[in-house]
Chain A
Amino acid sequence: MTDTTDTTDAARTTGTAGTRVRTVRSRAAAPSPAAARPSARERGTRLLAALFLAPTVVGIVVFTVVPIIGSVVLSLFHWNVIDPPGWAGTANYRAVFTDSTVLVSFRNTLVFMVFAVAAQLLIALALALTLNGRMPTWLRSVFRSAFFFPLVLSAASISVVMKYLFNQDFGVINWLIGVFGIAPVPWLTSEHGAMATVIIVYVWQQFGFSFLLFVGGLNNIPKEIHEAAALDGATGLRKHLAITLPLLSPTLLVASVVGIINALQVFEQPYVLTDGGPGDSTRTVVMVIYEKAFEQLRFGEASAVGVLLFVLIMAVTAVQFRLSRHFVHYQ
């Protein structure tokens, strides 16, 4: 942090005659010649920049950069907070790689990610394209609001609600599919059912995010392109596949990158809906980090899992950007 004397200097150099200078830390108003020399102005700009950046940069260093390094360091130690930390070398990583719960959690998280992101993107894209057609403006905004509404609710309390809806015996979902003659599904009490429920609940809440991105992306496509395509005889699905999707590909990239990063961090839904069960069938990586650190006090192992998750996220994102070179078209 810049201390107060610096701030006063900044005020003195940046302040002009008759200006009341109010900075974050001091309210010194020092008069100086109206026509400041360029070098003084430059100095003032730099000091102002330092002051403006200090909260963000210091905060990010203390609460993100140092903790990342800290995670890597911690992953090399045995530590339970109570006893002094002891050097572990690669022991935590070896422990983690032979821990079946950890391995299963990575598998679950990847399965969850594939299905959740695919469903989220497909539903959002279909709805955005459908909404893009001709219809009264008020109706369009009603639909748009409806689709993005779940996004403003809390994932934890929504999961509480969904737990009742998906209950095998008295849940509304089984009653509803029963109307169509389908037998009750053990949503939360069977392995596949539990994973499907977690995915459905997550997608129900998250598709609105991709949907809004697609709506924005579609608005950015010039109308003339569609008109020219229509004149050339392109209609319906073909028009979308040949024209809309390539033009929308930068948005698709962002939606899938953000979608995947978020999905790999899923926590609230399985924590509330299934608590990782039945068995370990819906235990995710973040649940394992939480349990290892804050329930079992194995901070070293928890950090090792965290570092692995980080590496996984970076790797998946890097692959996506690499692949995107072939598929993404910028106008």
Chain B
Amino acid sequence: MSQATLTLSRARDSLGRARYSLGPCARIAGLTVCALLTLGPVVWTVSTSLRTPADSFDLPPQIIPAHPSTAAYRGVFDQIDVWLLALNSTLVTALIAAGQMITAGLAGYAFARLDFRFKKPLFGLVLATMMVPLQVTIVPVFLVLKSMGLTDTLLGLIIPAFPTAFGTFLMRQYFLGMPKDLGEAAMLDGAGPWRIFRSVYAPLARPGLAIVGVLAFNYHWNEFFRPLILETSGQNYTLPLGLVSLQGNLGTGSISVVLAGVVLSMIPAVAVFAVGQRPLREGITSAGVNR
């Protein structure tokens, strides 16, 4: 696939529009094929979830179900407590996103705009922790949470996720990008450091905070590893855990039901994608460009 598209792009020339009139068509065709391959599994998931169990193994797969049915969705609600899972996921994700916006906003501002001792080593420490894989720390984190009595609770998922090295880095970059004169003018008007933050810079930081919030929502809504380890009783499961166990319980049972569950769990992520695509994209891109 990659080879094909590379060759297609060869036909492109920024000055030779007329000479390479076939270029753009081939390019767009290639991109369309790739886009279909990318979205295919998602389309198949949605359409299969709307088939009757009897039709779910049909090949070639029907994109438009022959006998559309919502039986699978009712099946999901019968077999797992979707509302409870969704509530758990929502609580965990919303609180983590809010918490990260607060911690990253405050720390990012301190690193960008306040002078204090040990600023460089502290910032270095924060950056260094971006390199540390979660799995390397999970055993001691589990033990710390156990000693606090927080294993198998939602709080145990939420609290350790509050500090965010990447979010702090992102907010620092964001505050650094704001004009310094604004704060200096406010200082001449007699505003103290808190007032300068609260009234001048914090209101300007909303788009940056949106990036942190959307990234946190996306990551933690889909998170699997930590919930798998921390949450042992079904009542504390989040959606991804519930779905994998749904698949496990059914074994060779109805695909439609499992896929209906997947579709249900996708809805908030897709909604965030639709509404917050720009901050999401900017957040991901800034990982590469700002460094």
Closest to A235 in B: B13
Count of A-B residue pairs with CB < 8 Å: 345
* B264: min CB distance to chain A, Å: 10
**Is B182 an interface residue, CB under 8 A from the partner?**
no
Q: How far is the CA of A56 from the CA of B104 in the complex (A)?
A: 7
- In the complex, which residues 161-216 of chain A have their Cβ closer than 8 Å to any Cβ of chain B? 161-165, 170, 172, 175, 204, 208-209, 212-213, 215-216
Q: Contact at A68–B6, with CB atoms within 8 Å?
A: no
* B48: min CB distance to chain A, Å: 8
**Is A139 an interface residue, CB under 8 A from the partner?**
yes
Closest to A314 in B: B131
Count of chain A residues with Cβ under 8 Å from any Cβ of B? Answer: 124
Q: Contact at A63–B137, with CB atoms within 8 Å?
A: yes
Query: For B240, what are the chain A residues with a Cβ–Cβ distance below 8 Å?
Result: 154, 156-157
Q: How far is the CA of A34 from the CA of B192 in the complex (A)?
A: 9
**Is A110 an interface residue, CB under 8 A from the partner?**
no
* A72: min CB distance to chain B, Å: 10
Task: Out of A146, A213, A267, A286, name the residue touching B287 (CB < 8 Å).
Answer: A213
* A18: min CB distance to chain B, Å: 9
Interface string of B123-154 (1 = CB under 8 A from A): 00110010111111111111110000000000
**Is A306 an interface residue, CB under 8 A from the partner?**
yes
**Is A310 an interface residue, CB under 8 A from the partner?**
yes
Which stretch in A89-97, A100-108, A120-128 binds the other chain?
A120-128
Query: For B170, what are the chain A residues with a Cβ–Cβ distance below 8 Å?
Result: none
Contact size range, B: 35 or more
Query: For B31, what are the chain A residues with a Cβ–Cβ distance below 8 Å?
Result: 127, 130-131, 143
Task: Out of B116, B133, B291, name the residue touching A309 (CB < 8 Å).
Answer: B133
Task: Out of B57, B138, B168, name the residue touching A56 (CB < 8 Å).
Answer: B168
A-B contact pairs, 26 of them (CB 8 A): A16-B190, A35-B190, A48-B114, A53-B111, A59-B162, A59-B163, A60-B129, A65-B129, A67-B144, A123-B1, A125-B2, A126-B6, A129-B5, A130-B8, A145-B273, A146-B35, A152-B270, A154-B224, A154-B239, A165-B41, A172-B61, A204-B41, A258-B287, A258-B288, A290-B228, A302-B139
Apart from A35-B190, A55-B103, 9 more pairs, CB < 8 Å: A21-B194, A57-B126, A148-B281, A149-B273, A152-B272, A157-B244, A237-B10, A251-B288, A290-B225
Residues of B within 8 A of A (CB): 1-3, 5-6, 8-17, 23-24, 27-28, 30-31, 34-35, 38-39, 41-42, 44-45, 57, 59-61, 102-104, 106-107, 109-111, 114-117, 119, 122, 125-126, 129, 131-144, 160, 162-165, 168, 190-195, 197-198, 218, 221-222, 224-225, 228-229, 239-241, 243-244, 247, 255, 258-259, 261-262, 265-266, 269-270, 272-273, 277, 280-281, 284-289, 291
Residues of A within 8 A of B (CB): 10-11, 13-17, 19, 21-24, 34-36, 41-42, 44-46, 48-53, 55-60, 62-68, 70-71, 74, 119, 122-123, 125-127, 129-131, 133-135, 139, 142-158, 160-165, 170, 172, 175, 204, 208-209, 212-213, 215-217, 220, 226-227, 230-231, 235-237, 240, 250-251, 254-255, 258, 261, 264-265, 267-268, 272, 286, 289-290, 293-294, 299, 302-303, 306-307, 309-310, 313-314, 317
